[in-house]
Amino acid sequence: MRNPIVIGMSWIAVYLGIIVLPLLVLLFYPPTPNAERSFWLEFSVALGFIGLAMMAMQFALTARLHPIEDSYGIDLILQFHRYTSVVAFFFILVHPLILFIDNPETLQLLNFFQAPWRARAAVIATLALIALVVTSIWRKRLHIPYEPWRLAHGILAAIAVGFGLGHALGVGNYLELFWKQIIWVGMAAAALWLLLYVRLLKPLFMLKKPYLVETVIPHRGNVWNLVLRPRSHQGLNFQPGQFAWITLQISPFRMREHPFSIASSATHPDRLEFGIKAVGDFTNTIKDVKPGTKAYLDGPYGVFTTDRYEDTAGFVLIAGGIGITPIMSMLVTLAEREDERPLLLIYSSKSWEDITYREEIEALKDKLDITVVHVLREPSEDWSGESGYVDKELLQRYIPKRPATRNYFICAVPKMMEQVEAALHDLGVPVTNVHMEHYNIV
């Protein structure tokens, strides 16, 4: 089997290689020497080139490419996308600032109506980039709904990279050689191709593999299980804990695709269940979805799966609320595979009546070597079990004496995940044994 660490490191090397490629080219094949070009001018241009290359690479990071997703998981990739966007933004903003300080006459280039088109392209790219960053960081504060934001995000990114490249080609100082232009145009074409792949080709593939809603089953905690059956194909081979993007009705070209963990057994790729909590526009409609409705899936994705840790002595599964869905898939799959390893489920819910899949989990006790600890935030007076938050003291009471012998899976609201992760660390669980799925990735 190929070593995942080596694969992960290789992707990082590829990323860094592409980012610095334009600079390496400049280093080995510098432009015609010009005595008037100061160090700061060269430095500013270098920042501009790196920033532009980083921006172009964002298309690859967000294209849901399986080889990359399978190495890191979507939340890590999106986190990387966010951080590197801010760094690229900083480089691109500092690039003209240095020029203005080094040679104040260049400030005239900001006069949009009189400036040459290459300067106008730079202004348009920078404004698009500012809009991109502001609407992403403060999307919720600005009350921008997810779908329009996502559409605008793609358009603004294409404008920023397209006009940024136009600016670089227009300035030309460093790109006068034909093949240097080829590198840049190639990078931009690859970015555009990725955008088309995600928005056009992938939906076309999905169109060929539709699913039909078989039924919608109500569960405790305002959760609805959407049951899908493949129509004229084999279904979806997935690992327990993975998720898929669902589009309901009309076509997969719609922007309304939402990610949901598969809650059913991985041994049945031809019957998929998604446990969906009603929290907003889309999820509130699930209860009314009619049997026979068409659905399209993009997946499976994610590295949050017990299947990656076959050698472990057992699993500790920690869920909060709807975070139970991927864990439910792990449990039912392990049960169907007659897995005999010891399992511990620590499950935080609001009240006894709110525990999603309470009866189903109880039934699994007959098939698995499992200890279930329910933790209630609002217990009734006669509740004698655990209550409050899942903290270090609670975990210490239940996790094995040799904690490093298990793998730990956490899926809950961000605050609970942070606290549980820190507590496990304090209790001696190696970071490599802790796996988390974030539902608030955007």
In the complex, the residues that contact ligand FAD under the rule CB under 6 A are: 140, 146, 243, 257-261, 275-277, 279-283, 322, 325, 437, 439-442
Strands 223-230 and 343-349: unpaired
Q: Are 248 and 293 in contact (CB under 8 A)?
A: yes
CB of 314 to ligand FAD, least distance (A): 24
User: CB-hemisphere CA count at 13 Å for 26?
Assistant: 19
CB of 300 to ligand FAD, least distance (A): 11
Q: Which of 378, 327, 358 lies closest to 219, judged by CA?
A: 358
Residue in the block written with tokens 């996790």: 399
Q: Which is nearer to ligand FAD, 24 or 279 (CB)?
A: 279
Q: Which is nearer to ligand FAD, 20 or 216 (CB)?
A: 216
Neighbours of 253 (CB within 10 A): 15
CB of 138 to ligand FAD, least distance (A): 12
The one-letter amino acid at 442: V
Q: Which is nearer to ligand FAD, 59 or 260 (CB)?
A: 260
Q: Are 317 and 330 in contact (CB under 8 A)?
A: yes
Q: Which is nearer to ligand FAD, 15 or 243 (CB)?
A: 243
Q: Which of 59, 65, 69, 55 lies closest to 19, judged by CA?
A: 55
Shortest Cβ contact with ligand FAD: which residue? Answer: 280
CB of 437 to ligand FAD, least distance (A): 6
Environment class of 241 (CB within 10 Å of its CB; exposed 0-12, middle 13-18, buried 19+):
buried
CB of 136 to ligand FAD, least distance (A): 12
Please state the φ and ψ torsions of residue 383, each to the nearest 5 degrees.
-75, 125
CB of 276 to ligand FAD, least distance (A): 4
Return d(Cα 269, Cα 103) in angstroms, integer.
64
Return d(Cα 435, Cα 318) in angstroms, integer.
10
Q: Which is nearer to ligand FAD, 58 or 136 (CB)?
A: 136
The DSSP bridge partners found for residue 348 are 320, 375
Q: Which is nearer to ligand FAD, 129 or 286 (CB)?
A: 286
CB of 442 to ligand FAD, least distance (A): 5
Q: Which is nearer to ligand FAD, 69 or 437 (CB)?
A: 437
The answer to whether the Cα torsion of 246, 317, 302, 266 is positive or negative is: negative
